[in-house]
Chain A
Amino acid sequence: MALSTEESGRLAALLGEQDERVTTRWTEIVTSSLRGRLSQAELRRQVQDLHRAIVTTSEQGVIDLSADSAAELRAALSELSRGRARQGFSATETTISIFALKDVLAELVQEAGGPNALHDYVAFSKLVDEMGLFTFESFVRTRESLIADQAEQLLELSTPVVKLWEGVVAVPLVGTLDSARAQVVMERLLQTLVDTSSPYAIIDITGVPAVDTQVAQHILKTVVAARLMGADCIISGIRPQIAQTIVALGIEFGDIATKASLADALRHVLRLTGVETARRQPRRGI
């Protein structure tokens, strides 16, 4: 769907000769579609960049969007879509900036007239379609990478392993425990056990809204893995409704110690390690 040398020559002439008018009209159409969410000046600059890229590319002869000669044009298009994707514009609002060029071209071709008018317009139109699709694809790519980044950040955010005491680490689980997160939790916990050479780990599920068989299985696997490394695990944060649900489901935690709260779990571990906790006697007479 490349443009032939004559066609691109005519395109270059058409867009190049009246560049001021083309960019102004183009900016106008795009501005109305975005309803003032981008400043006129910024839009104008983007349109000018695109315009320049198209003219430069078409002056070189054959335009083929996938060829090396169109690298500058592709860069301009992906820069535009990347910017729009990051600013939270929709796919339509992004690609319309490209498709607006069709309206401009229709006006120009009509004015210029000539025997090739229809043929040229169809050819230019195809090029604009191709540019639009390319923009759309890079828009989607940018969005996907944004989502992937966020998912990764979320994984990092939501799975801290904290040291509670000498030899005691805790993992407060919050939210949904799917396979990906369970894997991260297990890796973190096992690594922290090694790094801090802790013999005890507390897995706190206060923040997990529903404990179903999948969640239970993930927790059980983590406990078994920690045991293989010589560490004892205590599961804490089992609220009454969770306890009743676990019983009804028929999940068995076997000989794994479970406690209602993190404080109970810590006290349990401290007792096991022989640490005595006592209240200081209040002083009298002062």
Chain B
Amino acid sequence: MTADIDLGQPQAQAVQSDEDVVRVRQLVRAVAVAVKLSLVDQTKVVTAASELARNTLVYGGGGSVEVATVDNGRRKGVRIVFSDSGPGIADLDLALTDGYTTGGGLGLGLSGSRRLVDEFDIETSTETGTRITVTKWSR
């Protein structure tokens, strides 16, 4: 799994079931190891990916995840894009509030993932669905 990660190519993974969430996690971990993230950062980015992939599945009705490596000249990192064509997020500020949930979870997935990564960007609309881009840089 870890050995055949091509760093240049973004890796895509469809998210249609709980097993796919596990696959996303494994893929992100492999890429995070490949760009030499520390163990703590690996765990953080994998956990964030797990949360967001599950959101894609549960709230977005399934979608896809793309994992790529990024390089800004000084540091390397992992960039993950989660996209779905679900109903979108009606109130983004409310959704990013700790403890707010519409699905019976802890209400920490979205807000918590933002704290786990370095860059967090979210585009959502009720027509085209939601697209979340996160990046974690090595230190």
Interface residues of A (CB under 8 A from B): 176, 178-179, 209-214, 216-217, 240-242, 244-245, 248-251
Contacts and interface: CB of A to CB of B under 8 A. Distances in A.
**Interface of chain A: mostly helix, strand, loop or mixed:** helix
B135 interface: no
Nearest to B39: A241
Top 5 A-B residue pairs of the complex, sorted by shortest distance between their CB atoms: A249-B112, A241-B43, A241-B40, A212-B50, A213-B106
Contacts of A248: 44, 112, 115-116
Contacts, number: 63
A211 B50 CA distance: 9
B105 A214 contact: yes
B84 interface: no
A173 to B, nearest CB: 15
B42 A241 contact: yes
Nearest to A240: B40
Contacts of B22: 176
A2 to B, nearest CB: 39
Interface in B72-114: 98, 105-106, 108-109, 111-113
Given A211-B47, A216-B106, A250 B40 contact: no
A214 B57 CA distance: 13
Residue among B42, B43, B50 with most chain A CB within 10 A? B43
Interface of B: 18, 22, 25, 29, 39-40, 42-44, 46-47, 50-51, 54, 98, 105-106, 108-109, 111-113, 115-116
Contacts of B29: 209
B2 to A, nearest CB: 14
A214 B40 CA distance: 19
Identify the interface centre among A179, A209, A245, A251: most chain B CB within 10 Å of its CB: A245
B43 A251 contact: no
Contacts of B43: 210, 241-242, 244-245
B112 A250 contact: yes
Given A245-B43, A249-B116, A250-B111, 10 more contacts: A210-B50, A212-B47, A214-B50, A216-B106, A217-B105, A241-B43, A245-B116, A249-B108, A249-B113, A250-B115
Nearest to B52: A212
Nearest to B22: A176
A214 B106 CA distance: 8
A6 to B, nearest CB: 50
